[in-house]
Amino acid sequence: MKFLIPPIIFLLAVTASCGDKHNELLVEAESFREKGGWLVDPQFTEQMGSPYLLAHGLGNPVEDASTSITIPATGKYHIWVRTKNWAAGDWEAPGRFKLAVNGNEIESILGTGDETWYWQYAGKIPIKGPAVKIELKDLTGFEGRCDAIYLSTKKTEPPAGKDELSSWRKKLHGEAEIPEKSAEFDLVIAGGGIAGCAAAIAAAEQGLQVAIVHDRPVLGGNASSEIRVHTEGITWKSDRIISMLNTVWWPNGSPEAAKDDTKRHTNMARYDNIKIFLNWRAYTANTTDGIITSIDARQTATGERMRFSAPLFSDCTGDGWIGYWAGAGYMYGREDSATYNENWAEHGELWSPAEADNKVMGSSVLWRTYDAGIPVSFPDVPWAMDVAGDYSATTGTWKWEFSRNDLHQIEDAEYIRDHMLKAIYGSFSNAKKKAENVNLGLEWVGYLVGKRESRRLKGDYIYTFNDEKNMTEFPDAVAMETRTVDVHYQQIEADSTKPDFLSEALYYKVDHYFIPYRSLYSENIGNLFMAGRCFSCSHVGLGGPRVMHTTGQMGVAVGYAASLCKKYNTSPRGIYENHIDELRELIY
Ligand SMILES: Cc1cc2nc3c(=O)[nH]c(=O)nc-3n(C[C@H](O)[C@H](O)[C@H](O)COP(=O)(O)OP(=O)(O)OC[C@H]3O[C@@H](n4cnc5c(N)ncnc54)[C@H](O)[C@@H]3O)c2cc1C
């Protein structure tokens, strides 16, 4: 495996128009040379327009980020910073920070103001060039965020609207339609969770040249040390491959997850024909006549772009992004109980609603505390209390989960993440007021949203609760699970006195159930596989096989199927029609 490290380029756009003596520069915060304690957060790129820098310091200001730029001419510049006040209200904004230019702090406090992303005016200052040092100075450690800095000799605020802003950015960066770089593979996998990694190994072992495009610095998705969910389910016929990738059963949130990251990376590195593109986020799929010809991805910090071409693709993003961009059929939300006859009378609406809605299983942010042995202080967090109320807690479990009918798990993911952060900081603040918690400090709080359910891509077969209940013996079964089916609901749905950020599970015991191959390729995009929680299933159908040993089995099936597609020059559907026995032999 080769970890491809892109050359350091800086997203710095400079334009100068001599006619009206107008100079302008756009500096993308994520491309700062020194990040200090700030983190690159690319989770919400599709919604707010870019990766950004986040000051995630658990209440302690993080180390400064800094970079050097070159300005076209010494002079007076107006400065805007694209930011948001993520918890606006009648208190000081939680994510406050300042900007320093050539060592001089600008007076304006940033990260205040609007709750949506906007250009905050920082002021007009004289700047001596050509080399200029810019620094971000966090003031709080509570999720200050900076997307970009715009300097201009003219006082014209940059555009705010999503499309207008995107065109303006491209123009300033001089970005062409087609990525600068390209590469070809036999199989391109987007998303390096357990499903994506398993698909990569299975395909590579059969001799395919594989690319795995993953938007994080570590592989594993929810099982990684960044999110810290342990893997569950059975490994069945794919034990050898999944064992290279999975986790020990440590409690969710445990730092032990880092050991499993090391195991996963070491094992993936054994395959010369897997090229891993870490910190690369896919952003579009290019198609011709219902076939994906390539996907384009962007390095999350440098902005470098690459086109990945292949005859076959696998969407392992969890969110079904590749299918979505390619125009694949997909589902979102809870189907009404009549659609697939998934009613469970005992639990009624909590299990499957009479009318379809958007109350899918929610997203989580895990967290934990530590005992310092001496008193540890924690600041007041008034901006968190409307969410936390008087709830008090010292650790998070899988039950710290948030879903609401009016929120989309992808489109509103930043709001969902921030809601969970308010729940965590507020509940911990309440706990700290109790004498027994005086020595407790926050050890770790995730900043990545751990998702359970969002888009599910439609395949030739839609897997439902009935297949679990009836233990359907598919002729094309490629994965098996014995885990009890569980579907979550928000506690507040059953008891209005409960906080809205806690969930509960309903369990339906089944002996075993199978997953058919037909649920692992798209119904209408001819060369697209999917493995993971975005496989073809109903909302209740996802209740069993969303765990990561099962999604790993799906990945193995997809990897082997891709190798047969190459061998017989056929499509994923062609494997079902003509080579399903050979696929099952590879798996069994
Ligand atoms: C709190 C919590 C507790 C859970 N408990 C368990 C449990 O105990 N055991 C268990 O097995 N499962 C558990 N689950 C469920 C399980 O973690 C998910 O269903 C699982 O993550 C599915 O795996 P996946 O590979 O499909 O997706 P993911 O793990 O989400 O991996 C997909 C990866 O793709 C990346 N990606 C997304 N978009 C792009 C893009 N455009 N370009 C490049 N990369 C991209 C993402 O960063 C992500 O890392 C839990 C989930 C949560 C949130």
What DSSP line would sit under 77-95, residue for residue?
EEEEEEE--TT-SSS--SS
Helix (H, G, I), strand (E, B) or coil at 12: strand
The dihedral through the CA atoms of 152, 154, 155, 160 has a sign that is negative
Ligand 1 pocket test, pick from 222, 296, 399, 447 with the greatest ligand atom count within 8 Å of Cβ, gives 222
Q: Are 140 and 61 in contact (CB under 8 A)?
A: yes
Q: Is 16 left (phi over 0), alpha (psi -120 to 50) or beta?
A: beta
Q: Indicate which CATH number applies to the domain containing 510.
A: 3.50.50.60
* Number of alpha carbons in the 13 Å side-chain half-sphere of residue 257: 22
Rounded Cα distance between 23 and 397, Å, is: 51
Average model confidence (pLDDT) across the chain: 95
pLDDT of residue 187: 99
Q: Is the C-beta atom of 247 inside 6 A of ligand 1?
A: no
Question: Is the domain of 101 the same as that of 200?
Answer: no
Question: Is the domain of 104 the same as that of 224?
Answer: no
Using the 3D structure, point to which of 173, 207, 238 is the last residue of a domain.
173
Q: Is the C-beta atom of 416 inside 6 A of ligand 1?
A: no
Phi and psi, residue 82, nearest 5°: -85, 120
Q: Are 536 and 459 in contact (CB under 8 A)?
A: yes
Q: Is the C-beta atom of 548 inside 6 A of ligand 1?
A: yes
Using the 3D structure, point to which of 445, 464, 497 is the last residue of a domain.
445
Helices 194-205 & 257-268, crossing angle to 10 degrees?
A: 20
Q: Are 252 and 397 in contact (CB under 8 A)?
A: yes
Q: Are 451 and 319 in contact (CB under 8 A)?
A: yes
**Cα 119 versus chain centre, distance:** 25
Question: Is the domain of 278 the same as that of 407?
Answer: no
User: How far are the Cα atoms of 37, 238, 516, 538, 559 from residue 584, in angstroms, in the given order?
Assistant: 49, 12, 11, 24, 12
Sequence-ordered list of residues with C-beta below 8 angstroms from that of 5, at least 6 positions apart, any chain: none
Structure token digits, residue 308: 């990945």
Distance 154 CA to ligand 1 centre (A): 45
Rounded Cα distance between 330 and 48, Å, is: 23
Distance 184 CA to ligand 1 centre (A): 27
Question: Is the domain of 303 the same as that of 368?
Answer: no
Q: Is the C-beta atom of 231 inside 6 A of ligand 1?
A: yes
User: Is residue 345 in a domain?
Assistant: no
Phi and psi, residue 249, nearest 5°: -85, 75
pLDDT of residue 453: 98
Question: Is the domain of 169 the same as that of 22?
Answer: yes
Question: Is the domain of 380 the same as that of 463?
Answer: no
* Number of alpha carbons in the 13 Å side-chain half-sphere of residue 301: 21
User: Is residue 354 in a domain?
Assistant: no
Using the 3D structure, point to which of 413, 430, 445 is the last residue of a domain.
445
Q: Is the C-beta atom of 87 inside 6 A of ligand 1?
A: no
User: Is residue 49 in a domain?
Assistant: yes
Helix (H, G, I), strand (E, B) or coil at 130: coil
Edge-to-edge strands of the sheet including 210-214?
Answer: 2-3, 274-278, 210-214, 187-190, 312-315, 528-530
> Which atom of ligand 1 lies closest to the CA of 398?
1
pLDDT of residue 17: 45
> Beta strands 187-190 and 210-214: pairing type?
parallel
Q: Indicate which CATH number applies to the domain containing 108.
A: 2.60.120.260
Q: Are 53 and 145 in contact (CB under 8 A)?
A: yes
Which residue's C-alpha comes closest to atom 1 of ligand 1?
A: 398
Q: Is the C-beta atom of 226 inside 6 A of ligand 1?
A: no
Q: Is the C-beta atom of 340 inside 6 A of ligand 1?
A: no
Structure token digits, residue 564: 């047969």
Distance 121 CA to ligand 1 centre (A): 38
**Count of other CB atoms within 10 angstroms of residue 471:** 13
Distance 450 CA to ligand 1 centre (A): 6
pLDDT of residue 114: 87
Q: Are 362 and 500 in contact (CB under 8 A)?
A: no
Structure token digits, residue 378: 């924690």
**Count of other CB atoms within 10 angstroms of residue 164:** 11
Question: Is the domain of 383 the same as that of 277?
Answer: no
**DSSP code of 115?**
S
H or E segment to which residue 3 belongs: strand 2-3
Q: Is the C-beta atom of 532 inside 6 A of ligand 1?
A: yes
Question: Is the domain of 517 the same as that of 544?
Answer: yes
Distance 553 CA to ligand 1 centre (A): 14
Q: Which residue matches tokens 């909590």? A: 350
Question: Is the domain of 559 the same as that of 492?
Answer: yes
User: Is residue 5 in a domain?
Assistant: no
Sequence-ordered list of residues with C-beta below 8 angstroms from that of 393, at least 6 positions apart, any chain: 427, 428, 430, 431
Q: Which of 561, 355, 376, 364 is nearest to 478 (CA)?
A: 561
Question: Is the domain of 293 the same as that of 308?
Answer: yes
Distance 274 CA to ligand 1 centre (A): 21
**Count of other CB atoms within 10 angstroms of residue 475:** 11
Rounded Cα distance between 205 and 42, Å, is: 31
**DSSP code of 4?**
P
Distance 52 CA to ligand 1 centre (A): 21
Question: Is the domain of 165 the same as that of 194?
Answer: no
Question: Is the domain of 401 the same as that of 500?
Answer: no
Which residue's C-alpha comes closest to atom 2 of ligand 1?
A: 398
Q: Which residue matches tokens 């062609």? A: 574
User: Is residue 308 in a domain?
Assistant: yes
Convert 10-23 to b/e letters by CB count within 10 Å (16 or more is b). Answer: bbbbbeeeeeeeeb
For the chain, percent helix, then strand, then coil, each to nearest 5? 25, 30, 45
Q: How many domains are there within the chain?
A: 3
Ligand 1 pocket test, pick from 46, 366, 548 with the greatest ligand atom count within 8 Å of Cβ, gives 548
Domain enclosing residue 243, as ranges: 181-336+452-587
| Residue type present at position 319 | D
Q: Is the C-beta atom of 357 inside 6 A of ligand 1?
A: no
User: Is residue 353 in a domain?
Assistant: no
Residues in the chain: 588
Phi and psi, residue 40, nearest 5°: -80, 120
Q: Which of 70, 76, 68, 69 is nearest to 22 (CA)?
A: 76
Q: Which stretches in the chain have pLDDT values below 50?
A: 1-10, 16-19
Angle at 461 between CA 459 and CA 462, to 5 degrees: 90
Distance 176 CA to ligand 1 centre (A): 33
Phi and psi, residue 491, nearest 5°: -55, -35
| Residue type present at position 493 | E
Q: Are 210 and 186 in contact (CB under 8 A)?
A: yes
Distance 150 CA to ligand 1 centre (A): 35
Q: Is the C-beta atom of 193 inside 6 A of ligand 1?
A: yes
User: Is residue 6 in a domain?
Assistant: no
Distance 452 CA to ligand 1 centre (A): 7
Q: Are 223 and 247 in contact (CB under 8 A)?
A: yes
Distance 498 CA to ligand 1 centre (A): 27
pLDDT of residue 20: 57
Angle at 383 between CA 380 and CA 389, to 5 degrees: 85
Rounded Cα distance between 61 and 67, Å, is: 19
User: Is residue 368 in a domain?
Assistant: yes
User: How far are the Cα atoms of 231, 319, 391 from residue 398, in angstroms, in the given order?
Assistant: 13, 19, 17
